[in-house]
Amino acid sequence: MTQRLAVAISAVLLAACASNAGPAWERPEGTAEQRDRDEGDCMTRALSMGNTSPPGPGNRARIDREFERCMQQRGWTRSEN
């Protein structure tokens, strides 16, 4: 049940992020499908790590940092649109 909730939340967050004109993730020879899969995996991972902290702005910052760390570990870099 908890995993389903995390997946549902990550889907909503990814949809919200996709509609933003914020930074994009790039990787040499990386495809959109790979990026989407890695974003979903990293968001799920970040949300599960955030569940160990009390709710609030500090928890959101921790989730954001973990998401970015995960994407960077997979070879992606941020690029402003």
Output the DSSP codes for 4-43: HHHHHHHHHHHHHHHHS---EEE-TT--HHHHHHHHHHHH
pLDDT digits (tens, 9 = 90+) for 21-58: 556 999 999 999 999 999 999 999 998 876 766 667 77
Q: How far apart are CA 54 and CA 22, in angstroms?
A: 27
- What confidence tier does 60 reach under pLDDT thresholds 50, 70, 90? confident
Report the alpha-carbon angle 56-23-64, nearest 5. Answer: 25
The pLDDT score that the predictor gives to residue 25 is: 94
